Amino acid sequence: MNSPSGQTPAGVDATSLLAAYDDQLRTDAETPGALAVTRLGPLRLVTFAAGRGFVTYRDLAGADAATIRGFVASALAHFRDDATVTSVEWKTRGHDVAPGLHEALVDHGFVPEEPESIMIGEARLLVADVPLPEGVTLRRVTAEADVRAMSAMADEVFGDDPATSGHADSILHRQERDPEMELWVAEADGRVVSAGRLEPVPGTQFAGLWGGSTRPEWRGRGIYRALTSARARSALERGKTYLNSDSTEFSRPILERSGLVKVSTTTPYEWRR
């Protein structure tokens, strides 16, 4: 639960941050915008718009390998029975006690994606005056055309097809159900070059930083950090103390330099019909 250098910043209790993450964020707070949530033992089987299934849990309740294999089989059967679900993500965490989970997921057709770092820290640490490149501006967006342009940029960055991913429709649906969610973009010459969401979590001290993406040719110029600072300011205005993010290796160093701490890892496993 330390930074890559092996040292947790002075005054930061990574163990307490991880406990707050488990207690406050691994509940219904993790699935805003869900169309349906079904409980299966400790699991939450979630259906989102655009045919997306999602599996999460607070922990696996001390289950052994055989029981966990049964959870995987039953969860997949649940989603297979819903013809509208075309993909399922099973969200794992590196600090969980989960004997045999990797093997069970792979045997049932789930494919592990790249691990990400679970980053947590105080929102105030990310507030900074970051100079932007000439011609680049930041703003919060709500109009459908802007949301679709933001989503298309993110799809292109992550190698998805905007025409078929369904991500824009999902975000628009979320926006209707969760007006507290904020969508932020950086633009140059009217073109979205970076974007990210802020998701305040009701009833908790947290707001999440999600969907961070920047076009490759615009990276390393302070734009993502400026977007992060703008979202941190907004989180503080909403009374949130902590920010959390599942970060790729592009964004982790930026958040780490701002004072966030890597407390664990998360690896999504993906199944497609």
Q: What is the pLDDT of residues 114-124, one digit of tens each?
A: 999 999 999 99
Radius of gyration of the chain (CA): 19
pLDDT of residue 246: 93
Of 22-36, 57-71, 184-198, 229-243, the range with the lowest mean pLDDT is 22-36
Mean pLDDT on 198-211:
93
Q: Report, as an integer, the average pLDDT of 204-221.
A: 93
| Amino acid making up residue 3 | S
For the chain, the distance separating the N- and C-terminal CA atoms, rounded to the nearest angstrom, is: 36
CATH architecture of 121-265: 3-Layer(aba) Sandwich (3.40)
Q: Which two tokens stand for residue 172?
A: 């628009």
pLDDT band (50, 70, 90) for residue 141: very high
In this prediction, residue 177 carries a pLDDT of 83
Q: What pLDDT is recorded for position 11? A: 59
Q: Which has the closest alpha carbon to 16: 4, 8, 6?
A: 8
pLDDT(192) > 80: yes
Q: Is residue 33's pLDDT more than 70?
A: yes
Taking residues 157-177, report their average pLDDT. Answer: 88
User: Average of pLDDT values for 40-46?
Assistant: 96
d(CA 130, CA 230): 10
- pTM given for the model: 0.84
Nearest to 95 by CA among 54, 65, 46, 58: 58
Decide if pLDDT at 135 tops 80. Answer: yes
Q: In this model, does residue 3 exceed pLDDT 50?
A: no
Please say if the pLDDT value at position 2 is more than 70. Answer: no
Please state, rounded to an integer, the average pLDDT across all residues of the chain: 92
* pLDDT at 191 > cutoff 70: yes
C-alpha triplet 260, 20, 18: angle, nearest 5°: 55
* pLDDT score recorded for residue 46: 97
